A and B are shown apart, each in its own frame.
Chain A
Amino acid sequence: KNEVEQSPQNLTAQEGEFITINCSYSVGISALHWLQQHPGGGIVSLFMLSSGKKKHGRLIATINIQEKHSSLHITASHPRDSAVYICAVLYGNNRLAFGKGNQVVVIP
């Protein structure tokens, strides 16, 4: 079983600040997903990556396969970035394991 740990569990930032949230996992993976869940429940896929770095707008996701670690960075944070960010890893026999999420609140 692949354990997925996300940190920090809760993060509060002022609008405009740079935010970093982290995901660590315990066994080798073939891909990692970052998902966003707003209050009310809808889950949106932000990134899927297996190496290096991806950027979309103000969001940057990085992964270090050797260290079994990924980070999601939010530049120039905005209140609309307030959400739960979920890390999920694809491992073994094509299984997905999910972390419990990072709750991010951005204050105006």
Chain B
Amino acid sequence: AQKVTQTQTSISVMEKTTVTMDCVYETQDSSYFLFWYKQTASGEIVFLIRQDSYKKENATVGHYSLNFQKPKSSIGLIITATQIEDSAVYFCAMREGGQGGRALIFGTGTTVSVSP
């Protein structure tokens, strides 16, 4: 069965530094998609970045990048040059290929606090 695990409950960093958060997943499928979402204080959930399992290159979008280590079933999120507004809860999620209407399985989230 699918499983997504985020072991870091919370991380505190200073503004303009880099934060890294971990995510480990379990799947029996050879094709899958990995996502990171951000939930703001208002509850809004925003898509950040995606990694397709068949791609070897780490995805990068703006100041978000991924550290995809397929042999370790690991997909870390790296945020560089953090800003106060990066303070949020970050969720890792996974979808197996060919799942039809089944949606994403989410981890438990990592709360990031960015201080000035």
A interacts with B: no
Residues of B within 8 A of A (CB): none
